[in-house]
A and B are shown apart, each in its own frame.
Chain A
């Protein structure tokens, strides 16, 4: 199994630009989580999906952030417009139905200049 796949691995953009992060969960997993990790705030849950449906987006910082999961094998996290304080590592994780172990992707390191 390839594990959770995220792209891009690194993204450098300028303030005001739109950024789209992508995630492919492990096949057969029905829950997907988006996290943001910074030194100051640690590992924060932004949003999670169950069976492609958003269940809890209370961690999404602002309206500038949006996430979609159009099908079981793909999810996006979009930031529009991006700001320097959005700089962080963004992780996607997936979980198999009935299980507890979260499998994390390698992360996307986002730098907003």
Chain B
């Protein structure tokens, strides 16, 4: 079953922060985050494999709450280059192989 993302869309001004949530009705073993810019292919951001795990690079980070069956992606001090659609994906134990993607969150950063 497809994970649910919220919000569906968000508009930010440069420098503002945003949080994108990903929830699953089933047990979560791994959470994958991808970003897709308009007209391009999805690009891998990060994967979280353990409950309680947090990861990040640059000013984009994510957390994984296994008990709540949800993950959140945090974008701080947003830049114009952050614009795009963000997808979370849920996978089996171990993380790889079959990933079921959410419907996406469209993020637009404006000057």
Q: Which A positions have Cβ atoms within 8 angstroms of B?
A: 31, 42-45, 48, 50, 55-56, 91, 95, 98-107
Contact = CB atoms under 8 A, between A and B. Distances in A.
B104 to A, nearest CB: 6
A104 B95 contact: no
Given A42-B103, A43-B87, A43-B101, A100 B41 contact: no
8 contacts: A42-B2, A42-B102, A42-B103, A44-B101, A45-B100, A99-B96, A102-B32, A106-B40
Contact of B96 (A44, A100, A105): A100
Given A42-B2, A43-B87, A91 B96 contact: no
A3 to B, nearest CB: 9
B98 A95 contact: no
B1 interface: no
A50 B32 CA distance: 19
Given A91-B42, A106-B41, A107-B41, A100 B32 contact: yes
Contact of A100 (B2, B42, B95): B95
Interface residues on B, range: 20 to 34
Interface string B24-38: 000000101010000
B12 interface: no
B101 A42 contact: yes
A101 B44 contact: yes
Given A100-B32, A101-B47, A45 B42 contact: no
A102 B98 contact: no
Nearest to A42: B103
